[in-house]
Structure 1
Amino acid sequence: MLSARSVGRLLTAGLLPLLLGVAAPVAAQRPAPRAVLSLSSPAFADGGLIPAAHAQTGRDVSPPLTWSGVPDSTRSFVLIVRDLDALVGDATDDVLHWMAWNIPATATSLRAGVPSGAQLDNGMRQISISGPYYRGPAAPASGPPHHYVFELYALDVMLNIAPTAMSPAATREAVLRAMTGHIRGKGVLTGRYQRPLP
């Protein structure tokens, strides 16, 4: 739950609409409709349990993802993976498990086990809270499973943001700002995970 102070900061920065998955103010948007992308994984169903292979307790490799329904205006994709049930810092930010941007517009999937590195051969850039790679879920065994949301955005631009010039939090904010007014479609996939009991 965001505090009133946090909501105020996000509104000032123009980021609250992006984080809530709603349209930004009309003045910030181009008059183009948003497509609903179909985002799925052969590793787990929407709302299902994420296998240990894709968690920190297992092999910690990124899950395979596929998507369709991409608008013709797409020039790149941004993927954001975050833990909705974990807060960091001043208790207003959820944990960023993966953010990949400048995924080529021709892509219709990401294979399992995307290699680490700030920038890959295909131009994709990536970061997480702990480095330039996918960070798998690791919710504690006590309490309920955490919800990990995978959000794929189709953009009508490439983003000129370096993956190593700033901290992960600052990079995430810069990417979100650069996305404003350029989102042409969005797909969402949610998985659940918690560590097994010892």
Structure 2
Amino acid sequence: MAIIGKLLRNRRAAAEDLAWYRPNLGEGGVFEVTSADFDHESRLDLRHANKRAGGQDVSPALAWSGVPAQTAQQLLIVEDQDAPFGGPFVHALALLDPEVKELPSGALASDATREGVTMLRSSWGRGYMGPAPVRGHGPHRYVFQVFALTEPVVLTGGRALASAKPREVLAAARAHGRGRIDGFYERD
């Protein structure tokens, strides 16, 4: 697999394709997102990696503060900015009640039930899917983003959120504040 990673080394999603840069999600101020499990722009621990990469698929703990008043809902998305695809790979997508200001480690598991957290479909399944970059592809940036939404997400035509693709949810959301924390992971 390291050979495939080396062949794809220069093929990466563009940073500007992250949810962070969408015009409908970029309004308002920036608030702080932190983690007890990693520092901004540091390496993610192996336990946060995907099981097929030797990890445990445990989502890191997250906390945020400074969310604007009148936030109707929050959107959390975890994206791999360096995936060798046409855009970032979505590792987790969830809608959060406005009162939620932190998530403990493991809270984004597909079988986790936590009041105020609704897991949505990611690029592959539901729930947190840890990093598993192709061996030899180099370091990947994982961007944990929280958006403060002005109104609850509703899809056109009454389509159900549970079956919606991440791009549909992102297109329907409108934010008036946002925060992020980035971590790195690499498989040699």
Q: Which runs of 5+ in 1 are unaligned?
A: 8-15
Q: Give, in whole Å, the separation in 1 of the partners of 2:171 and 2:142.
A: 22
Aligned match of 1:71 in 68, 73, 81? 68
Task: Give the counterpart letter for 1:100 in structure 2.
Answer: A
In the TM superposition, 1:52-131 aligns within 5 A as 52-56=46-50, 57-88=54-85, 92-101=86-95, 103-114=96-107, 115-117=109-111, 121-122=115-116, 124-131=118-125
Instruction: Give the TM-score taking structure 1 as reference length.
Output: 0.74
Q: Which runs of 5+ in 2 are unaligned?
A: 1-9
Instruction: Give the TM-score taking structure 2 as reference length.
Output: 0.77
Q: Report the identity percentage.
A: 31
Shift of 1:164: 3.5
- TM-superposition CA deviations, 1:3-33 (whole Å, max 9, x none): xxxx9xxxxxxxx787462645xxx99xxx6
Preserved contact between residue 47 and residue 55 of structure 2 (Cα < 8 Å): yes
Shift of 1:152: 0.9
Give the root-mean-square deviation of aligned CA atoms. 2.9
Higher relative contact order (CA 8 A, sep 6+): 2
In the TM superposition, 1:11-30 aligns within 5 A as 19=19, 21=21, 23-24=23-24
Q: Give, in whole Å, the separation in 1 of the partners of 2:102 and 2:20.
A: 24
Q: After the TM superposition, list the runs of 4 or more consecutive aligned residues in structure 1 that deviate by more than 6 angstroms.
A: none
Partner secondary structure for residue 82 of structure 1: strand
Shift of 1:140: 3.3
Preserved contact between residue 80 and residue 89 of structure 2 (Cα < 8 Å): yes
Does residue 185 of structure 2 align to residue 193 of structure 1? yes
Task: Give the counterpart letter for 2:35 in structure 1.
Answer: S
Shift of 1:106: 0.3
Preserved contact between residue 63 and residue 112 of structure 1 (Cα < 8 Å): yes
Q: Give, in whole Å, the separation in 1 of the partners of 2:68 and 2:55.
A: 36
